[in-house]
Amino acid sequence: MQEVVAPGEQLARARELAGRIAAQAPLAVQATLANARLAVRDGEAAAEAQLPGELVRLTQTEDARIGMQAFLTRTEPEFVGR
């Protein structure tokens, strides 16, 4: 992610973005990072080829169910990393 902020605001903005990422489902964040690393290492086509299977795996997790329930009930999810 790239963003320009006023001088002296970099750390505050970085912490804000880190907080938003940390609030997401940990398995999804891990999968996103792994896919980005794969793209850097083996190319975009390799990362794109792996993505469908990874998405299926993620939709079958407890965190996916928690996220959907939170969406339907308009509450904050409490992810468990499973």
The domain defined by 10-73 carries CATH number 2.40.50.140:
no
Cα 7 to its chain centre, rounded Å, is: 28
| Helices 44-59 and 62-73, axial angle in degrees (round to 10) | 70
Instruction: Report yes or no: 20 and 28 within 8 Å, Cβ to Cβ.
Output: no
One-letter amino acid for residue 42 of the chain: D
Query: For the chain, which residues make up each domain, given as ranges?
Result: 10-73
What pLDDT score does 18 carry?
A: 93
Got the DSSP string for 29-80?
A: HHHHHHHHHHHHHH-HHHHHHHHHHHHHHHHTSHHHHHHHHHHHHT------
pLDDT tens-digit readout, 3-43:
899 999 999 999 999 999 999 999 999 999 999 999 999 99
The yes-or-no verdict on residue 1 having pLDDT over 70 is no
